[in-house]
Amino acid sequence: MNVCVIGCGRWGSFLAWYLNGLGHSVTLYGRESSAKLGELKKSRSNGLVTLDEKINITSGLKSALEPAQTVVISVGAQSFRGLMRQLSPLDLTGKTAVLCMKGIEAGTGRRLTQVFEEYKPQTPVAVWVGPGHVQDFTRGIPNCMVIDSKSMEVKKYLVDAFSSSLIRFYYGSDLLGNEVGAASKNVIGIAAGMLDGLGKTALKGALMSRGTREIARLIKAMGGQEITAYGLAHLGDYEATVFSPFSHNRRFGEMFVRREPYGQLAEGVATTSAMLVLGERYNADLPICKAVNDVINGGQDANTVLSNLFLRSIKMEF
């Protein structure tokens, strides 16, 4: 199929590389002002992937979209509404959109498929979530991921088109739960990094147990399936987020408590605020999300906050 990948960052560039390897005709779009786009145009490499000459690299959004049957989007979650404003006047008739980022809109608490449908309600949309790092995939290390959508027809279409020996896809059955689970695991990743930075790595077991229950309760309160938190989009992604050296969110948390600068995007920072919006809206208790927010946005001492969270008085298990 003809595929347009919007977003030329680490993950977007990998998606272009991966889909081209499956035999699809791929166009990779990035903003003209993007340094990452300039680097790819110049050398066709970003240090993680080298793009085949068959991949068209462009800053022309309309021309990139016109031949595409599938539009794969990988941009920062908090920049997504801005992109949708650009896409709004463009014709997406007959196309399917796939959102390949993990986040919730800060301030509104809206899931990314909800933002997409505000602007393009007639265009089928799916999410592609789950564990995996570019550095592992390019070394040939396989993983399992999830594609979810309101439409089973769309899920089958995408799973058939995107599956390989490198990525095995599962059909999602809870779009709400998979979106919330995928976004919130980044907040848990920041908490894990804080534990690493404070020399409390052994508490990650408690973090994973309590974190999954916390998000499961929220998903249920929102009308999703509680069990989804235990699937690939959330708990199944902990290995790649809570432990991996490649996890931006874990690394951000570690460096934050060490008071060291971190120049990369950590989606979990904005998602933390969004989670608290959801917690208040749906009357769900989110103690880990609140603790992370107290540290990164409230200026509270990380050691005190996390000690109070995990080393408090005896209670029934979770």
pLDDT at 316: 52
Q: Does the residue 229 lie in any domain?
A: yes
Q: Of 171, 198, 227, which residue sits at a domain end?
A: 171
Residue 316 falls within a domain, yes or no? no
Residues 221 and 125 in one domain: no
Shared domain for 187 and 134, answered yes or no, is: no
CA distances from 101 to 50, 107, 176, 266 (A): 21, 18, 14, 12
In a domain, 176, yes or no: no
Question: Domain count of the chain?
Answer: 2
Query: Residue 97 belongs to a domain with what CATH number?
Result: 3.40.50.720
Tell me, yes or no, whether 50 lies in a domain. yes
Catalytic residue numbers, as ranges: 185
CA distances from 183 to 32, 34, 71, 199, 316 (A): 28, 25, 21, 26, 28
Measured CA distances, 15 to 8, 21, 55 (Å) = 9, 10, 11
Query: What are the per-10-residue average pLDDT scores of the chain (318 residues)?
Result: 96 98 98 93 95 97 97 96 98 97 95 98 98 96 98 98 98 98 97 97 96 98 98 96 94 95 83 96 97 95 93 58
Cα 153 from Cα 36, distance rounded (Å):
35
**pLDDT value of position 313:** 55
CATH of the domain at 280: 1.10.1040.10
Q: Are residues 202 and 238 in the same domain?
A: yes
Domain boundary among 171, 204, 226: 171
Residues with Cβ within 8 Å of 134's Cβ and at least 6 positions away in sequence, in order, are 10, 11, 14, 48, 49, 246
**Confidence (pLDDT) at 82:** 97
Which residue has 């909800």 as its token pair?
114
Tell me, yes or no, whether 162 and 193 share the same domain. no
Helices 287-296 and 302-310, axial angle in degrees (round to 10): 170
Q: What is the DSSP string of 134-175?
A: HHHHTTT--EEEEEEES-HHHHHHHHHHH--SSEEEEE-S-H
Q: List the domain range (segments joined by +) for residue 222.
A: 183-310
